[in-house]
């Protein structure tokens, strides 16, 4: 987390638990009272939904103090709830830019595709290291795609139909932000064959990804250039904000791997979704145990405002 000490601004603390739990609510209030030395008034966000979500206005805090409080809350409620302490001003963002693999969907498309070529274990091992930041993304991508050379194109459709599924809450996240005037874009180091279909199914208005090269019958083992990696994701974020005429602070980003870090750190609200440690450490907030609708609660939306996609 960025803990550089700056001028104090108003902050709000948000907690989201997978299920209603009076004990969690009570502990959250008591922790805030102990830290702030004043009474806390919770605003219920989840209404009659199965999960519990609430926030509380904290008043003036420096970013350093807010980050320390968030860290303590996340540690206290680890495995039970997701927590964030964020600025009160400008909570609702006008642009959503999200990673695809292991963020919007629960799989890594390349790993699943590799299973059809009989090389899933080898490819998945490289994917894991690349997403943890241990390998150069471009080199790791070209190495993995080369292992798919000769795979028939029919495998792509079979892979998407039988292996790929949206993560819980993504349709509601996208539909709600769109209904409130935000633009939604999928930006992936994966492939346009999949990003186009995931964007359609999840409701995203735009998508960007890499291109698998084929000879009309099978994959050639090559990736179209230039490769969309870490810096290209940041460029996409900047281009989308510029096209909308908004600031980077008006954007929210979601991702799980090292190639998402640049856009996560540059956006107004960068969220690590069930992410690798290197990403969770540097993102402004995280979602570990709850659905993607938590990104709406972090922006101050209540469940009564959700639009089901």
Count of residues making up the chain: 309
- Note if 21 is an active site residue: no
- Note if 101 is an active site residue: yes
- How far lies 62's CA from each of 2, 4, 11, 284, in Å? 11, 9, 9, 14
Q: With beta carbons less than 8 A apart as the criterion, state whether 127 and 297 touch.
A: no
Residue with tokens 């008006």: 250
Q: Find the distance separating the first CA and the last CA of the chain, reported in whole Å.
A: 32
Q: With beta carbons less than 8 A apart as the criterion, state whether 79 and 86 touch.
A: no
From the list 288, 292, 290, 296, the residue with the least C-alpha distance to 18 is 290
Q: Which of 55, 82, 99, 250 is catalytic?
A: 99
Measure the CA–CA gap between 86 and 299, rounded to whole angstroms.
9
Q: Which of 55, 82, 101, 250 is catalytic?
A: 101
Residues annotated as catalytic are 99, 101
């Amino acid at each position: 987390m960025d803990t550089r000490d700056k001028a104090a601004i108003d902050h709000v603390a948000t907690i989201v638990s997978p299920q209603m739990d009076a004990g969690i609510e009570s502990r959250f209030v008591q922790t805030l009272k102990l830290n702030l030395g004043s009474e806390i008034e919770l605003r219920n966000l989840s209404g009659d939904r199965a999960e519990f979500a609430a926030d509380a206005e904290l008043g003036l805090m420096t970013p350093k103090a807010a980050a320390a409080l968030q860290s303590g809350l996340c540690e206290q409620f680890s495995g039970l709830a997701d927590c964030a302490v964020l600025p009160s001003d400008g909570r609702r963002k006008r642009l959503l830019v999200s990673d695809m693999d292991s963020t919007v969907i629960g799989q890594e498309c390349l790993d699943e595709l590799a299973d059809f070529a009989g090389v899933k274990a080898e490819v998945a091992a490289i994917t894991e290291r690349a997403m943890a930041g241990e390998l150069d993304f471009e080199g790791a991508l070209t190495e993995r795609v080369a292992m798919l050379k000769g795979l028939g194109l029919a495998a792509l459709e079979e892979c998407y139909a039988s292996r790929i599924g949206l993560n819980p809450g993504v349709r509601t996240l996208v539909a709600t932000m769109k209904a409130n005037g935000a633009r939604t874009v999928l930006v992936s180091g994966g492939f346009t064959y999949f990003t186009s279909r995931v964007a359609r199914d999840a409701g995203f208005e735009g998508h960007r990804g890499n291109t698998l090269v084929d000879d009309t019958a099978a994959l050639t083992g090559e990736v179209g250039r230039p490769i969309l990696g870490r810096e290209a994701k940041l460029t996409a974020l900047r281009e989308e904000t510029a096209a909308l005429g908004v600031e980077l602070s008006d954007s929210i980003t979601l991702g799980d791997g090292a190639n998402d870090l640049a856009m996560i750190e540059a956006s107004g609200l960068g969220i690590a979704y069930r992410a690798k440690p290197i990403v969770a450490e540097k993102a402004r907030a995280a979602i570990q145990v709850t659905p993607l609708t938590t990104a709406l609660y972090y922006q101050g939306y209540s469940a009564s405002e959700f639009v089901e996609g």
